Chains A and B, each alone.
Chain A
Amino acid sequence: MTSIAELENLTLLFENKVVLDDITLQIEEGQILGLLGPNGSGKTTLLKVLAFLLKPTKGKIMFQGEEVGNKNLERLRLQSALVNQRTLLFSTSVFNNVAYGLRMRKIPKVIIEEQVRDALKLVKLEGFEKRNAKKLSGGEQQRVALARALVLRTKLLLLDEPTANLDPKNASIIEDIILTANKELKTTIVMATHNMLEAKTMPNQVALINNGHITEVESAVDIFRRLSRNLASFAAVENTFKGTARLTEAGTAIVDIGNGTQIETTFDKQGSVSVFISPQDIILSKKSLESSARNVFKGKITQISDLGSLVKLTVDVGKPFMVQITKRSFGDMSLNFGAEVFITFKASSVQEI
């Protein structure tokens, strides 16, 4: 496996603050590398460094055997492309957006037309050429941004939380596109993500980053198996909690995740554990539900995000839980900030990681 990029003792200071701290990382050609870390950990900065948009203060970057410096920065930029977390499109048609990079590379017009058409097909936006890019839906805009980067067939593709602001349907479309790009175009992909499932299923390797420093790089499977402690303590991923388990008479564990929150589970472990509850397994109600589910917690809504057809809520029951409900339910239940709600989930929904 050849490495396409190598970072050696890379440090980046911004206004005297250490944003990237002595990073040494090897990126293999053709892999998908997940970058997992909490907000402010330096994920975006690291991606910008790999996009050759930012220069490190100290340390070295090697790209395809070449050391990256002032002289080749602009040239090497042609080999990598970064897609922002917040979609940014040019105020023009979808076609002109996707064609932008090709025009910068002085590709002949006829070829541009063909390649743009193919790229739009890849992101399932055939026929969208003449549409005003800014008037599309959030999911469509993100796909245009992706097409705009993919069409350039760069060696390295950098994605900053590509599905963070999307509802599950659009998120899975984007995930498919990313996997296809990696498989068929053999693009090396580095993607920063917050999404547990994504981090587990998409990348071959995952690098954990915290406070500008990369703490572990492991295969995705191992990270979630062995290094779960680090993972949960980062709060890198939503609904992951670190806690202490004690066995009940029934042989199953109750996990204390702090602040008085005790979670009943169906596994039998003792001592230090990390657990994850999928947002889809959590029911939200305004009154306490009497049901067979063992875990019922009262809390307050502390954050609301609009994802189109879904609404993402953070409920603080002592620890923050992320819940997803349909917009319709949100409206029917008349929920808002600070509203007192109950979350309910089965003991069997608690996954040990």
Chain B
Amino acid sequence: MQRVAIAGAGATGLAHAELLASIDAAELVAICDIGVVAAEECANRYGARAFSRAKEMIEEAEFDVLDICTPTSTHIELIKAAAAARKNVIVEAPMARTSVEAQEAIRLCSEAKITLFPVQSRRWSPEYKKLHDLVASGAVGEPVIARLSHETTHPSGWDDWYADYRRSGGVVLGQLIHDFDWLRWCFGKARKVNARGLYDRGIHFVDHALVTLRFDNGVIAHVEGSWAKPCNSECSVEVAGNSGLLSFDSSSSAPLRFELRTVENSGCSEIVSESLLATSPLSGALEHIIGCLEEGRVPDVRPEDGYEAVRIGEAALRSITTGQPVVLT
């Protein structure tokens, strides 16, 4: 049985708590949040202990795994604390705000001989896994050029931390980190990154970026990330190779749609579309890591994967800031 303590009772932490509760080999024993009410509510629901400070929780609670669901910029301190206490770590993506922090996290966890698992949940998204497997099986021949996009409304979180782009890394780190991870998974090492975006433009609650990557194997990739949509969330992937083309678009993949007549405004109707899956990518990721910890297996996603994704994101942010392409050495 893996006893889990969650840091952060925001939307992400609560989602983790709910999924962990459904995993037999996991037990939620503690949750902390500086908004202690949210932590208490969650703790009561799952029979866990609530804390207002992570430090206290790590010192006082009896647990095996620290599951970090706090704002990105706080990840490194929590990983340090977990390493000092010799607790295994699950950390939401991006695993750290900077590549230096990510590197330090890896070093500390390795020295403490604990597992560090970055939640790169795309690997458990069935559409992205299928796309990856198709590419790997040669469905398009040699892959040549890929296009990914992930566009959503602006995320909201405690203290509006997402909107503080210095802290969150904006859409590039907060969202495209998953696309970078998927691209690495498919095409290997990225060599050069060129990006333009709104990261340093001081626009409130709107972020958007266009990132071009060149991989060592010659593949060119274009990634669009948006936190500028007024409504709906959409993602798409296209991979063109020398003998075929794969394309996926979430907006044309919804197996269920509703049109609802609103009572207040009978002339108007609202369309709700859903992408349905029995299990979420996040639950796949959590089940995987809990299973690995239980059985002493090496997880499919290594800390280095989390680090490399952060490094690409950081290069994209630097390119946005300087207007120059960044070579990854």
A complexed with B: no
B interface residues, Cβ below 8 angstroms from A = none
